[in-house]
A and B are shown apart, each in its own frame.
Chain A
Amino acid sequence: MSNAFLEVSGLAKVYPTKEGNDFTVYDNVNFNLNKGEFVCIIGHSGCGKSTILNTLAGLDDPTAGAVVMNGKEVKGPSLERGVVFQNYSLLPWLSSLSNVEFGVKARWPDWSKNKVREHSTRFLSMVGLEHALQRKPSELSGGMRQRVSIARAFATQPELLLLDEPFGALDALTRGVIQEELVKIWSETQQTVFMITHDVDEAILLSDRIFVMSNGPNAAIAESVKVDIPRPRQRNTIFQQPGYYQLRNYLVDFLVNRSAEKPDNSSGKPKEVNPLSAITSSSAPATTIDNDRNAHPYAVNQ
């Protein structure tokens, strides 16, 4: 028994089909999360990322395996695990302040009205929405709605925060701003974050580790890739960091060329990989950067 903050072992999800043969989305998924860690999970559509996240949230029951957080098995949703849904899931009849208060009141039912309001307002100002407290979600842009949703999740101060592709529907500019806000709040609150994304650059910017999943059916977490780039990272300068493109190419190469291979899961844990171990230890970083400049940052997505 390890002493990891969150331990996932032997997780599987099987859907019965009409023909009688079962459809296995993923199988034998094992990983640990450490306290205060920011982990992104990346993989092609249909590999079951969202189902894994919902299982961690306790919204979905696994076919096999277990999720253990702080030594206790996850048996249902809990305030210890906050979720930011892809489509924001704000309650449209409440103002943005009331939406955050909704979470805060559920978390601390005996707090006074003023304390709830003060706490919620503080988290909304953290995401830069102090001017839109009384506006309804329908009067907010997509980016602002997602900020309210993030504020709601952080305001309840869960031990684990689960984000299901939170920036998927946002334009690149808005996405960058909210990514920075997310990192800012995360570094202030020291919560553990588990996030789904499709965006390799986003994953590198935010994560300590990146889980890459092989394709479904029978998907699994193939590798746990360490992001060995020092913090604080800046969106506009991170690509100048030694090894950025090397890491990026490694991830894209996996998604494009290797994700269809069946990973070797015999050890029960995803393979720990650090593509930058050579750079960070001794070898000259300058040459690596020169080599990597040949690769256009966005040329590899095709």
Chain B
Amino acid sequence: MIQSMPFRAALLSIVIAVLLFGIWEASSDVPEKSTEMTEYEMLMGGADQEARVPPPSDVLVHAWNELSDPFYDKGPNDKGIGIQLAYSLYRVLTGYVLAALIAIPVGFVVGMSPLMYNALNPFIQILRPISPLAWMPLALFIIQDSETSAIFVIFICSIWPMLINTAFGVANVREDWINVARTHELSSLRTAFLVILPAAAPTILTGMRISIGIAWLVIVAAEMLVGGTGIGYYVWNEWNNLDLNSVIFSILMIGCVGMLLDLALSSAQKLVEYNE
């Protein structure tokens, strides 16, 4: 039991965590004042002039407070972490699902038809490297709604990995399997659903997994720009409030949610995987 790999790995993880938090905690200790406070300092209530990153113990206490009531709503400037994350997730999932609805069928067509591949390839190659945030001004001007613009930015950044992976997966389905469909006189539609889709599914899911990761990266930046609600806005707002406890706490929450999204897609990927 003690010898088993997962157990040893978990033990090592805990040791590393304790070590890191220990160093962080120690370095955050406010040194004892050796000199007496000046009059000014006394006026300022003895505040430390040197700003410090809060120690992990403070962050943990803050996290506990926030997580024990994640959905409170005390007006536009003070909402619980759960509400902020829910806003972000709503935007990410809406943009992502819309992108999947377009990318997967288009990817199918591009993958099945060399003509379509060559015709659409220049557009894909030019549009793909554009930073999604570069679309923001144009989106705001055209859509005239910050909420929808944020969703559009998610849409535009998650469409490419899904489109390219679907096209690649479909184009590389083994000729033998297509021949099996042909010798069984399957219609094009049935071939697409019974042979090509299951054959390309692992590649398509890989694209979907890359996309959800990018979408979650981009939503933070997009919400810092559009403001109002969401985890990205929350981080920036707490920075403006100089509440570093909240900033660090929300950074950790972004990581946790991103991990959960990836976990969901990777378990979906396991469902469609096959061994040759």
Residues of chain A at the chain B interface (Cβ within 8 Å): 57-59, 76-79, 81-83, 85, 87, 89, 91-93, 102-103, 106-107, 136-138, 156
Residue B184 is within 8 A (CB to CB) of chain A in the complex: yes
B198 contacts A59, CB within 8 Å?
A: no
Expressed in whole angstroms, the minimum distance between the Cβ of B217 and any Cβ of chain A is 32
With a cutoff of 8 Å between Cβ atoms, the chain A residues found around residue B39 in the complex are none
Query: Are A78 and B179 also in contact (CB < 8 A) when A92-B275, A138-B274, A138-B275 are?
Result: no
A91 contacts B185, CB within 8 Å?
A: no
Q: Which of B177, B185, B274, B275 contacts A106 (CB 8 A)?
A: B185
Residue B49 is within 8 A (CB to CB) of chain A in the complex: no
A92 contacts B184, CB within 8 Å?
A: no
With a cutoff of 8 Å between Cβ atoms, the chain B residues found around residue A85 in the complex are 176, 179-180
Per-residue 0/1 for B229-240: is the Cβ within 8 Å of any A Cβ (1 yes, 0 no)?
A: 000000000000
Using a Cβ–Cβ cut-off of 8 Å, how many residues does chain B contribute to the interface with A? 18
Residues of chain B at the chain A interface (Cβ within 8 Å): 176-177, 179-180, 182-186, 194-195, 198-199, 201, 272, 274-276
Q: Which of B176, B184, B272, B274 has the most CB of A within 10 A?
A: B184
With a cutoff of 8 Å between Cβ atoms, the chain A residues found around residue B272 in the complex are 93
A93 contacts B199, CB within 8 Å?
A: yes
B184 contacts A106, CB within 8 Å?
A: yes
A93 contacts B198, CB within 8 Å?
A: yes
Task: Name the residue of chain B whose CB is nearest to the CB of A91.
Answer: B177
Expressed in whole angstroms, the minimum distance between the Cβ of A55 and any Cβ of chain B is 13
Q: A59-B179, A77-B183 are in contact. List 20 more A-B contacts (CB 8 A).
A: A58-B182, A77-B182, A78-B183, A78-B185, A79-B184, A81-B183, A82-B183, A83-B183, A85-B176, A91-B180, A91-B198, A91-B199, A92-B276, A93-B199, A93-B201, A93-B272, A106-B185, A136-B274, A138-B276, A156-B184
Query: Are A89 and B276 also in contact (CB < 8 A) when A78-B185, A79-B185 are?
Result: no
CB pairs A–B below 8 angstroms (11 shown):
A58-B183, A59-B179, A77-B179, A77-B182, A85-B176, A89-B177, A91-B177, A92-B276, A93-B201, A107-B184, A156-B184
